Amino acid sequence: MEDVLTTGEAARICGVNFRTVLRWIDRGLLQAYKLPGRGDRRVLPGELHRFMRENGIPDRSQASAVPRRVLIADDEPAMARAIERVLRGAGFETAIATNGFEAGAMLSTFKPSVMTLDLCMPGLDGLDVLRFLQSNELFAPSKTLVVSADTEERLRASLTLGAHGVVRKPFENDELLAAVEQMLSTPASRGLLKV
């Protein structure tokens, strides 16, 4: 008999929370079966790999050349912690910067692959951080994802200044995670990321 995966093991391979795997199963997107009497679900590896191929999900069970490290730049503590919870649940290493100055200082020491960036912060705001990154590419993370409830005009300005994508607040946790995962799995191109 072929080995089977628990929903937690499937989640680690996909780099998502196990609840996301359960939602995929409930929606009929990923085939699984229930263990008699317990109700625990199991996924066949071949079925999981089919689902991952069809949906462009990279295999997180293999060593990744790109560090799964995200710098969260947001001055609202509750929002920063919410973003951190989602990303840590998916296996990311995170650090939080509460303003633009702190974000700039942490880039060279933390060396993130992705930075989530709020545009409305005291002192140096998100657009100022993007201007700094344009002039100091040595400190730039691989990708910058703007996570903001700011105006459409400022969101567009962020893309012009080098942001790789935008997620509007409020967002669903799965949407944020998908955007960060997409940042890691695509070449450095810029454009509005609607999730």
Residue 44 CB coordination number (10 Å): 17
Name the residue type at position 3. D
Cα–Cα distance for residue pair 178/16, rounded to 1 Å: 9
- The string of pLDDT tens digits covering residues 145-183 is 999 999 999 999 999 999 999 999 999 999 999 999 888
Joined together, the tokens standing for residue 86 give 């989602």
Strand partners, 165: 145
Q: What are phi and psi of 42, to 5 degrees?
A: -130, 145
CB 59 within 8 A of CB 65: no
- The string of pLDDT tens digits covering residues 77-135 is 999 999 999 999 888 999 999 999 999 889 888 889 999 999 999 888 999 999 988 88
Reported as half-sphere exposure (CB side, CA atoms, 13 A), residue 65 has a value of 3
Residues in the chain: 195
pLDDT average, residue stretch 12-26: 86
CB 119 within 8 A of CB 158: yes
- The string of pLDDT tens digits covering residues 93-105 is 999 999 999 998 8
- pTM of the entire structure? 0.65
Reported as half-sphere exposure (CB side, CA atoms, 13 A), residue 49 has a value of 5
Joined together, the tokens standing for residue 131 give 């201007």
Residue 33 CB coordination number (10 Å): 13
Q: Which CATH superfamily is domain 69-185 in?
A: Response regulator (3.40.50.2300)
CB 144 within 8 A of CB 117: yes
Q: Residue 172: what pLDDT?
A: 93
Cα–Cα distance for residue pair 43/30, rounded to 1 Å: 8
In this predicted structure, the answer to whether residue 56 has a pLDDT above a threshold of 90 is no
